[in-house]
Amino acid sequence: MNFLQSIDWLGLLRCFVVGGLLCVIGQILIDKTKLTPARILVAYVTVGCILGGLGIYKYLVDFAGAGATVPLTGFGYNLSKGAIEAVKEDGIVGAFTGGIKASAGGIAAAVFFGYIASLVSKPKIKKQ
């Protein structure tokens, strides 16, 4: 297979471990605290955004690649990275435009695919 050659296997292992550990932290938060999943999502994005702003999260991204960008902390990192880069170019307007510009693809995809997926789905009766 052609694309197998383009895969960095050691990087994939680092990605697997870091991504897995970020999920384990979330699992511990769910099991040990009274935080609802929605609050954990908010916390992850906010923490990622702050760590991105402090310049710390970049090192994790360099180390783990998608293992750091796919979890929601990476979404927050992307927002803050975009804001900082836009501030460098556009000044104060950049603080408002940069974050969404950098994560526009993800947000737009979530809205678009989310709406279509809800349309095609059959409403079901919840069995708990």
Tally Cβ neighbours within 10 Å of residue 94: 18
Question: Which of 10, 33, 53, 63 touches other proteins by CB under 8 A?
Answer: 53
C-alpha distances in angstroms, 48 versus 2, 85, 122?
Answer: 35, 16, 35
Q: Can residue 63 be called a binding residue for other proteins (CB under 8 A)?
A: no
Can you tell me the distance from the alpha carbon of 30 to that of 18, in angstroms, rounded to the nearest whole number?
19
Compute the least distance from the CB of residue 62 to other proteins, in Å: 11
Q: Which string of x and - marks every residue 64-93 that binds other proteins (by CB under 8 A)?
A: xxxx-xxxx-xxx-xxx-xxx-xx---xx-
CB of 49 to other proteins, least distance (A): 4
Exposed, middle or buried: residue 74 (CB in 10 Å: 0-12, 13-18, 19+)? buried
Residue 65: φ, ψ to 5°: 60, -125
Annotate each residue in 8-47 with x if it binds other proteins (CB under 8 A) or - if it does not, as one string: x--xx--xxxxxxxxxxxxxxxxxx----xx-xxx-xxx-
Q: Which residues 6+ apart lie within 8 Å of 75 measured at CB?
A: 45, 48, 103, 106
Shortest Å distance, C-beta 93 to other proteins? 10
Residues 88-127 that bind other proteins (CB under 8 A): 91-92, 94-96, 98-100, 102-103, 105-107, 109-111, 113-121, 123-124, 126
